[in-house]
Structure 1
Amino acid sequence: MAVPKKRTSKSKSKSRKSVWMNKAFSVSNKSLSLAKSLITGKSTSFIYPKMLDDYT
């Protein structure tokens, strides 16, 4: 027989959402920082060819 599950409290669901949002925020900050360093040319941790001719 089916039994209804207990309801998750608001504080627990808000806490889980907060953790998820903070992870997404930190990842987006890292990617933005990497993009900025690539544009300025000061990146030391990301290796890529500088010339477009290297792709062809």
Structure 2
Amino acid sequence: MWQQSSVPFWIAGLIKLWYPQAALIFFALACTVGIAWVMWYHNIIDERYKKL
């Protein structure tokens, strides 16, 4: 989960070398969408391994 959620940040870092403004937009999108994705995926993992 954490490896997949870090990929957009690595991409934003590479984009910054050529297009700093585009990297800022990409970073902002990665933060907002990425947080929602991590929360959603965490709930799936939590339900899968929940002990009753």
Report TM bin, short chain.
0.3 to 0.5
What is the TM-score when the length of structure 2 is the normalising length? 0.47
Which one has more relative contact order, counting CA pairs under 8 Å at least 6 apart?
2
What is the TM-score when the length of structure 1 is the normalising length? 0.45
